[in-house]
Amino acid sequence: MSIAPPPKTVLLTGGLGYIGSHTALALHEAGWRVVLLDNLANASRAVLGRLEAITGAPFPFYEADVRDRAAVEAVLKGEGVQAVVHFAGAKAVGESSADPLSYFDNNVGGAVALLQAMAAANVRQFVFSSSATVYGTPKYLPYDEAHPTAAINPYGRTKLHIEEILQDLAASDDRWRIAALRYFNPVGAHDSGLIGDDPNGIPNNLMPYVMRVAAGQLEVLSVFGTDYDTKDGTGVRDYIHVVDLAEGHVAALEALQPGRALGESPFEVVNLGSGVGHSVLELVKAFERASNRPVPWKAAPRRAGDLPEYFAEPSKAKALLKWEAKRSLEAMCASSWAFQSRQAEG
């Protein structure tokens, strides 16, 4: 009889947030022991109870700030952490232009403090939440990882600076194994309907706005730009189901292990997208079908800073991580609607 090895322990910073909470479930399902850390700046403690309700398992949770190096080091050592997935950070583009210093402090300062704590605790497997925003204005599409980078707002610059820091760190000490995952547009929710994207106030992003219009909580969707040079004049993005994205993190962590594709490479950037672009109106129509509700919309001026169209070249993820996005736009809309309906029921 062979004895199974003990599960590996992974720390998720920002683990109660939208993508972190879905990734916690996927990693738990894949056999990892998952420890969560969050300062609750943009998350509710209630998410912890929901993760436990879904899995029937407890998740060790620390309310702490990633900039608190001593606190993070204590968690890493105390929990016997072997790898970190770093979601914690602020992500509102408009806010980052209004208050860039707080974005550099939280995002860049947070990453540096976390990496210092990791080095002190001798933990050197790191997966970072980067973003397709680092590509800037497309020189060609789809964006592959070799596309030049040029962030166009302070939020994007924080992601680019952190990627550069990670590259320098990996070059300085070949014990590090680092994957920077460039996400496209995550939407959708877990099948349970218990966790999902639930921003405070009026949503900035398309899917949460559409969900609230369909539920009658907001009157009408403003479609920002109907005269772009795209298939129907509206903006085109690569929407990726958050559960696919969560599984991409499992694949990345596994690929960082010795003997696996990223195990020999100290630093890699990898796109996590579907490779398919959908317009705003395609998403609205898919949502109407999935919810069986109307989504009234009106044409509105282009939103400052928006690009007309972009989508991923996803083949590097397929080759290195053995991962690809599987879930359809319909599934993204149906799960978003199930989450919205469940929230309304309280």
- 13 versus 226: smaller Cβ distance to ligand NAD: 13
Q: What is the H or E stretch that residue 20 is in?
A: helix 18-29
- 17 versus 235: smaller Cβ distance to ligand UDP: 235
Cβ neighbors of 91 (< 8 A, separation 6 or more) are 155
- 152 versus 260: smaller Cβ distance to ligand NAD: 152
Taking the CA atoms of residue 255, residue 260, residue 263 and residue 269 in that order, the dihedral angle to the nearest 10 degrees is -40
- 106 versus 279: smaller Cβ distance to ligand UDP: 279
**Minimum CB distance to ligand NAD, residue 239 (Å):** 10
**Minimum CB distance to ligand UDP, residue 109 (Å):** 23
For residue 237, the partner it binds in ligand NAD, ligand UDP, none, with Cβ less than 5 to 8 A by kind, is: ligand UDP
- 276 versus 280: smaller Cβ distance to ligand UDP: 280
CA distances from 155 to 95, 131, 134, 149 (A): 9, 10, 9, 14
For residue 155, indicate whether it is catalytic.
yes
Strand partners, 187: 241
For residue 206, the partner it binds in ligand UDP, ligand NAD, none, with Cβ less than 5 to 8 A by kind, is: ligand UDP
For residue 340, the partner it binds in ligand NAD, ligand UDP, none, with Cβ less than 5 to 8 A by kind, is: none
DSSP 135: G
Q: What is the H or E stretch that residue 298 is in?
A: strand 297-300
Q: How many angstroms from the chain centroid is the CA of residue 249?
A: 9
**Minimum CB distance to ligand NAD, residue 260 (Å):** 23
- 11 versus 280: smaller Cβ distance to ligand UDP: 280
Look at residues 316, 200, 252 and name the one whose alpha carbon lies nearest to residue 12: 252
Compute the distance between CA of residue 158 and CA of residue 89 in angstroms, rounded to an integer: 10
**Minimum CB distance to ligand NAD, residue 262 (Å):** 19
Q: Which residues bind ligand UDP (CB under 6 A)?
A: 185, 204-206, 209, 221-225, 235, 237, 280, 303, 306
**Minimum CB distance to ligand NAD, residue 42 (Å):** 4
Tokens 């539920």 correspond to 215
**Residue 97 token pair:** 């232009």
Compute the distance between CA of residue 43 and CA of residue 194 in angstroms, rounded to an integer: 14
Q: Among all residues, whose Cβ is closest to ligand UDP?
A: 235
**Minimum CB distance to ligand NAD, residue 257 (Å):** 23
- 92 versus 112: smaller Cβ distance to ligand UDP: 92
**Minimum CB distance to ligand UDP, residue 224 (Å):** 4
Q: How many angstroms from the chain centroid is the CA of residue 99?
A: 22
Compute the distance between CA of residue 64 and CA of residue 88 in angstroms, rounded to an integer: 11
Q: Write a three-state SS string for 94-118.
A: HHHHHCHHHHHHHHHHHHHHHHHHH
Look at residues 252, 250, 189, 339 and name the one whose alpha carbon lies nearest to residue 28: 250
For residue 317, count other CB atoms closer than 10 A to its CB. Answer: 25
Check if the beta carbon of residue 273 is closer than 8 Å to that of residue 240.
yes
For residue 204, the partner it binds in ligand NAD, ligand UDP, none, with Cβ less than 5 to 8 A by kind, is: ligand UDP
Give me the catalytic one of 18, 62, 135, 155. Answer: 155
Check if the beta carbon of residue 194 is closer than 8 Å to that of residue 342.
yes
Q: Which residues bind ligand NAD (CB under 6 A)?
A: 13-14, 16-20, 38-43, 65-67, 87-91, 106, 110, 129, 131, 183, 185-186
For residue 66, the partner it binds in ligand NAD, ligand UDP, none, with Cβ less than 5 to 8 A by kind, is: ligand NAD
Catalytically active residues are 155
